């Protein structure tokens, strides 16, 4: 009985969502192995080994793999990564990943390969075979008891704390021998994002400023939100209406069908607070709403509300912030 946690990482380190998912894995009271795919630098491996009570850090290094397989694994394409995890099925009871785009892409395919139902987006682990998860945009919390021998679980990272890292490196580091026959039916072409140098990511930002349809145009969204975000400093989020209107790219969307975030401060500007949006930001510690409509539902969840025109309030805020 052991847990395998699929890690996400980049040159800056282990993803904060992976570290939080590790806290969820600890609730299962089983040995935990963490899998790093790709050629992770030594500093990152040392940092990952400080996850408390880690049993093993497994390294799926790709430099010796055929080029197509190497690229597919390093870019997290679902088919080879899920097949790699499935090839390790005999050794694990629970396969876990954070419910990020990465985890949500891979784990359902693994569940399919193992012929079990995935347990998605868990927010609590009351017992090692029992999980709580939100449904209906967070309006109902479902408790699921999973009886299958193998469990495939994705974790809502914002629901779990960061683990207290150990003083010293834990467990052992072990290199995996990659299976020869990992499928690579798709190719990685390109990845584009609009994140500015130095801007905090939505997953790690302590402050998020989020804009909605009220901005009217993509130019207004950019010209008002970017300087405000730079002053705070904050990451920029968006409602689905803002994303659909082309004000912001998809990966900025907060909500039921977007990202779930829990910053210390969430500033919602020119967005109404539809239930699907609230599903992605309700765990924020302090919520501030700026909206010209005093009846907007966002004010019902806001700790502080400012009724007024965003085109006057944002420039005034930027000025105040110096
Ligand atoms: C299955 C499903 C999934 C969905 N998933 C998501 C999701 O993940 N995330 C999400 O956000 N939505 C989601 N939606 C859409 C959601 O229902 C809403 O349509 C959307 O959130 C509305 O975006 P908005 O608040 O920006 O726009 P609106 O509801 O149009 O609100 C705009 C707000 O701006 C205010 N405003 C206008 N002008 C100004 C001004 N000058 N100054 C200040 N305030 C101003 C208005 O008073 C209004 O409250 C989903 C819907 C469905 C059906």
- 194: pLDDT strictly greater than 80: no
If one compares 287 and 68, the residue with the highest pLDDT of the two is: 287
> 101 CA distance to ligand 1 centroid (A)?
22
Which atom from ligand 1 is nearest to the alpha carbon of 258? 8
- 205: pLDDT strictly greater than 80: yes
Angle between helices 101-114 and 78-86 (to 10 degrees): 50
- 142: pLDDT strictly greater than 90: yes
Query: Which residues are bridge partners to 33 per DSSP?
Result: 4, 56
Angle between helices 78-86 and 67-74 (to 10 degrees): 90
- Answer yes or no: is the C-beta of 239 below 6 A from any ligand 1 atom: yes
Question: Which pLDDT score, from 0 to 100, does residue 44 have?
Answer: 96
**CA 176, 61, 122, 144 torsion: positive or negative?**
negative
- Answer yes or no: is the C-beta of 275 below 6 A from any ligand 1 atom: no
Across the chain, mean pLDDT equals: 95
Q: CA-to-CA distance for 1 and 149, rounded, in angstroms?
A: 10
Domains identified in the chain and CATH numbers: 3-175 (3.40.50.620), 207-321 (3.40.50.1220)
288 close to 260: Cβ distance less than 8 angstroms: no
Average pLDDT of the residues in 73-84 = 96
For a mutational test of ligand 1's pocket, the pick from 218, 243, 255, i.e. the residue with the most ligand atoms closer than 8 A to its C-beta, is 255
> 69 CA distance to ligand 1 centroid (A)?
41
Return the SS3 of 154.
strand
Give the closest residue (by CA) to ligand 1 atom 7.
Answer: 255
**CA 32, 37, 40, 44 torsion: positive or negative?**
negative
- Answer yes or no: is the C-beta of 292 below 6 A from any ligand 1 atom: yes
Question: Which pLDDT score, from 0 to 100, does residue 185 have?
Answer: 95
What digits encode the pLDDT tens for the residues 236-286?
Answer: 999 999 999 999 999 999 999 999 898 999 999 999 999 999 999 998 999
Return the SS3 of 37.
strand
Question: Which pLDDT score, from 0 to 100, does residue 235 have?
Answer: 95
Query: Which residues are bridge partners to 226 per DSSP?
Result: none
> 271 CA distance to ligand 1 centroid (A)?
5
For a mutational test of ligand 1's pocket, the pick from 268, 271, 300, i.e. the residue with the most ligand atoms closer than 8 A to its C-beta, is 271
pLDDT band with cut points at 50, 70 and 90 for residue 73: very high
Return the SS3 of 316.
helix
Q: CA-to-CA distance for 267 and 288, rounded, in angstroms?
A: 5
57 close to 48: Cβ distance less than 8 angstroms: yes
> 321 CA distance to ligand 1 centroid (A)?
27
Would you give the DSSP letter of residue 177? Answer: P
Question: Which pLDDT score, from 0 to 100, does residue 176 have?
Answer: 96
List the single range of 7-16, 220-229, 240-249 with lowest mean pLDDT. Answer: 7-16
> 274 CA distance to ligand 1 centroid (A)?
6
Question: Which pLDDT score, from 0 to 100, does residue 113 have?
Answer: 98
Question: Which pLDDT score, from 0 to 100, does residue 229 have?
Answer: 95
Question: Which pLDDT score, from 0 to 100, does residue 11 have?
Answer: 83
pLDDT band with cut points at 50, 70 and 90 for residue 12: confident
Question: Which pLDDT score, from 0 to 100, does residue 298 have?
Answer: 98
If one compares 87 and 201, the residue with the highest pLDDT of the two is: 87
- In 85-241, beta strands by DSSP E: 94-98, 118-122, 124-127, 130-135, 140-145, 151-155, 172-175, 207-211, 235-238
Average pLDDT of the residues in 143-152 = 96
| Residue % of the chain over a pLDDT of 90 | 88
Question: Which pLDDT score, from 0 to 100, does residue 322 have?
Answer: 86
CA dihedral 119, 13, 178, 105 (to 10 degrees): 30
Average pLDDT of the residues in 35-45 = 95
What digits encode the pLDDT tens for the residues 88-104?
Answer: 999 999 999 999 999 99
For a mutational test of ligand 1's pocket, the pick from 134, 208, 224, 240, i.e. the residue with the most ligand atoms closer than 8 A to its C-beta, is 240
Question: Which pLDDT score, from 0 to 100, does residue 193 have?
Answer: 73
| Residue % of the chain over a pLDDT of 70 | 99
pLDDT band with cut points at 50, 70 and 90 for residue 201: confident
Average pLDDT of the residues in 47-55 = 97
- 192: pLDDT strictly greater than 80: no
The owner of tokens 């689905």 is 240
What digits encode the pLDDT tens for the residues 150-171?
Answer: 999 999 998 999 999 999 999 9
- 139: pLDDT strictly greater than 90: no
> 260 CA distance to ligand 1 centroid (A)?
16
């Amino acid at each position: 009985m052991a847990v395998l946690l699929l890690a996400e990482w980049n040159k800056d380190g282990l993803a904060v969502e992976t570290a939080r998912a590790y806290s969820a894995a600890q609730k299962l009271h089983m040995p935990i192995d963490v899998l790093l795919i790709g050629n992770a630098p030594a500093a990152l491996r040392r940092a990952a080994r400080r996850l408390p009570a880690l049993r093993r850090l497994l390294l799926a290094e790709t430099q010796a793999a055929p080029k197509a397989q190497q690229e597919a694994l390093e870019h997290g394409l679902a088919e080879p990564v899920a097949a790699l995890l499935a090839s390790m099925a005999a050794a694990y009871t629970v396969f876990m990943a954070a419910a990020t785009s990465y985890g949500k892409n891979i784990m359902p395919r693994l569940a399919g390969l193992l012929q079990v139902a995935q347990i998605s987006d868990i927010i609590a682990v009351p017992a090692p075979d029992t999980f709580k998860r939100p449904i209906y945009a967070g309006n109902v919390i479902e408790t699921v008891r999973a009886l299958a021998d193998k469990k495939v679980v994705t974790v809502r990272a914002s629901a779990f704390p960061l683990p207290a890292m150990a003083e010293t490196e834990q467990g052992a580091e072990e290199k995996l021998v990659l299976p020869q026959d990992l499928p690579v039916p798709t190719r990685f072409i390109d990845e584009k994002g609009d994140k500015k140098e130095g801007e905090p990511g939505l997953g790690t930002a302590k402050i998020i400023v989020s804009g909605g349809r009220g901005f009217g145009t993509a130019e207004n969204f950019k010209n008002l939100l970017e300087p405000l975000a730079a002053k705070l400093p904050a990451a920029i989020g968006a409602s689905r209406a803002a994303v659909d209107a082309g004000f912001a790219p998809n990966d900025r969307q907060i909500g039921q069908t977007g990202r779930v975030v829990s910053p210390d401060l969430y500033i919602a500007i020119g967005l109404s607070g539809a239930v699907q949006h609230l599903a992605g930001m309700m765990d924020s510690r302090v919520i501030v709403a700026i909206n010209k409509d005093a009846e907007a539902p966002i004010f019902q969840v806001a700790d502080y509300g400012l009724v007024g025109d965003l085109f006057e309030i944002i420039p005034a805020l930027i000025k105040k912030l110096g």
